[in-house]
Amino acid sequence: MKRRAFLAGTGVALGSLAGCVRTQGSTDQWDVTTTDSKFRPARYEASVGETVVWHNTSQRSHTVTAYQDRIPDGATYFASGGFDSEQAARDGWKRGLEGAIHPGESFEHTFETPGTYRYFCIPHEVMGMVGSVVVTK
């Protein structure tokens, strides 16, 4: 059950926390958090047309960068920094940390095509900082 739907259906308010909290540090303002080396949750389920918000709750800078060959055919590519390809995002990071989501900042993307989207954090990919968004109709 989605947090927002849960809140609307029950009217429950938990101070500054909202809904059925699924991730450590999650609030109704974001869906996925970044820790020092993980996305939480690592797998997020969304509906077509839903905007997913990643929020950096760590003390390190991160990126949200789609694997270009691991998104559905016809889907819009996404990466923090607004890059139009995975290679451009990687080059931008090397050039000067372009696309960084600094501590306390957020990135969002609206998913219009159903399917599974796999993504990663450029500087922490080697540590296994990867995630996926599964979009259903």
CATH code (residue 70): 2.60.40.420
Supply the pTM of this predicted model: 0.80
Residue 14 lies in a domain: no
Band of residue 29 on the pLDDT scale cut at 50, 70, 90: confident
Q: Which of residues 5 and 122 earns the better pLDDT score?
A: 122
Work out the burial of residue 118: count CB atoms within 10 Å of its CB; fewer than 13 is exposed, 13-18 middle, 19 or more buried: middle
Residue 50 lies in a domain: yes
Band of residue 27 on the pLDDT scale cut at 50, 70, 90: low
Residue 13 lies in a domain: no
Token pair, residue 119, equals: 């993504």
From CA 123, how far away is CA 16, in angstroms rounded?
Answer: 31
HSE (side-chain half, CA atoms, 13 Å) at 9: 8
pLDDT tens by residue, 83-135: 999 999 999 999 999 999 999 999 999 999 999 999 999 999 999 999 999 99
pLDDT computed for residue 2 by the predictor: 45
Residue 2 lies in a domain: no
Residue 44 lies in a domain: yes
Q: In what order do the strands lie in the sheet with 43-47?
A: 43-47, 130-136, 115-120, 65-66
Residue 45 lies in a domain: yes
Q: Please state the domain count of the chain.
A: 1
- For the chain, the residue count is 137
Q: Which of 70, 51, 62 is nearest to 119 (CA)?
A: 70
If you average pLDDT over every residue of the chain, what do you get? 85
Residue 128 lies in a domain: yes
Structural domain that includes position 67: 24-136
pLDDT computed for residue 28 by the predictor: 66
